[in-house]
Structure 1
Amino acid sequence: MITANQITGLILAGGRAQRMGGIDKGLIPFHGKPLIEAAINRLKPQVSTILINANRSITKYSHYGYPVVMDETPDFSGPLAGFSVGLKHCKTPYLLTSPCDSPLLPTDLAEKMGAALEGNDLELVFASSQEDGGKIWSQPVFCLMRSNLQESLDVFLSKGDLKIDRWFTELRSGTVVFESPLAFANVNTPEELTALEKVSQ
């Protein structure tokens, strides 16, 4: 069984947040506290330590007491750039990734994905959510991966490909379906933020 002390949590706060007017998403207030605090609080019990991937507001993010790691590829290359630097700094056998703008992420994320990874001898497991109508959506930025995938990812990125799901197809990967669509709700616009605050009183 994969336990919390074998997992490093990586919170992705490196994006540009263009739909939020370019402000730093992780620092937007949610119930009066920066969004990233909700992500940290949800992730902390599931992992041994946390890394924060950010490309600006470094001082503010470092106030949380965790290492802040910046992308090593230029131009906001998306989540895979964050994965890459996270793997480089990961000292545990597994890395669990989550974006900074999903404050209701599942409290059993690591447990369920760890069981699937180990039970099916996979290298990487990503989350999927099931909508009320039964439709399944993949949530590829929520991942549990073996920390020895650095080379595979760097080779993939060196080809100039940034598509997250294309990298998954090169690995022994699988998904775990979580039945609460709200668990992966993320905040891309001010309206979404207001709506999410209402449903998570």
Structure 2
Amino acid sequence: MTRAKPPAVILAGGLATRMGGGDKVLLKLGKRTLLDHILDRLAPQAAPVALNANGAAARFAQYGLPVLRDSVPEHPGPLAGILAAMDWAAGLGAPHVLTVAGDTPFFPPDLAARLGTQSGAHPVLATTDRVHPTIGLWPVALRGELRAALGSGTRKVMLWADSVGANRVVFEGAAHDPFFNINTPDDLARAQRYL
């Protein structure tokens, strides 16, 4: 039986303070933006795709993506983006939503399929030598619990994910970490070399 592609959300709602501010997804990697590279990898695996970002949505208009704002004020971090993703997917009638970080352009082309092998009532997180908490498949049914956790002050993705029994899928054998994320100008230079 062929499993339907999950909807996916690119998490780009952070403040990018270590990069000097702005939208990391719009930084150039080679001749294209990080968002271009991410969409190239994500589009064959997931549909539809949306972007979680705060501020004026018009700056992403050329991509033609739904832009989902955090529903929790004051930039509480990626958990708020995951909640926005769950709420959007619930509106689509989807049981799960895939999230990827907007600064992680090298994730595997079989990410959704491999995380989907463990999908069920619990989140499924991508793991290499460490867990990558923003790269995951999230059951939409948990959005009420996540909203309550955010309301009570929970901010760490792993703390909440573990509290609801998150599973992990290990990705091994790549020449470099497929979930390498770009936080600093030095990281961007490294990514240019990987490219």
TM-score, length of structure 1 as denominator length: 0.89
Give the C-alpha shift of residue 63 in structure 1: 2.1
Q: C-alpha distance in 2, partners of 1:79/1:65?
A: 22
Q: C-alpha distance in 1, partners of 2:56/2:17?
A: 16
Three-state SS of the structure 2 residue aligned to 1:140 is strand
Three-state SS of the structure 2 residue aligned to 1:96 is strand
Identical aligned residues as a percent: 34
- Kindly report the root-mean-square deviation, in angstroms, between the aligned alpha carbons of the 2 structures: 1.5
Three-state SS of the structure 1 residue aligned to 2:167 is strand
TM-score, length of structure 2 as denominator length: 0.92
2:70 maps to amino acid: D
Segments of 4+ moved more than 3 angstroms: none
Q: Which runs of 5+ in 2 are unaligned?
A: none
Greater strand content: 1
Show the counterpart of 1:161: 154
Q: Which runs of 5+ in 1 are unaligned?
A: 130-135
Q: C-alpha distance in 1, partners of 2:98/2:23?
A: 22
Three-state SS of the structure 2 residue aligned to 1:176 is strand
Matched, 1:14 2:13: yes
1:47 maps to amino acid: A
Q: C-alpha distance in 1, partners of 2:79/2:115?
A: 19
Change (3 A) 1:4 1:141: same
Give the C-alpha shift of residue 45 in structure 1: 0.8
Matched, 1:186 2:181: yes
Matched, 1:24 2:26: no
Asked whether the 8 Å contact 2:86–2:138 carries over to 1, the reply is: no
Matched, 1:37 2:36: yes
Asked whether the 8 Å contact 1:127–1:177 carries over to 2, the reply is: yes
Asked whether the 8 Å contact 1:10–1:53 carries over to 2, the reply is: yes
Q: C-alpha distance in 2, partners of 1:14/1:2?
A: 33
1:127 maps to amino acid: A
After superposition, give the CA deviation of every residue in 1:63-104 in whole Å (9 maximum; x if it has no partner): 211100111112211110001111111112210000111111
Q: C-alpha distance in 1, partners of 2:88/2:167?
A: 24
The 5-angstrom pairing of residues 92-103 of structure 1 reads: 92-103=94-105
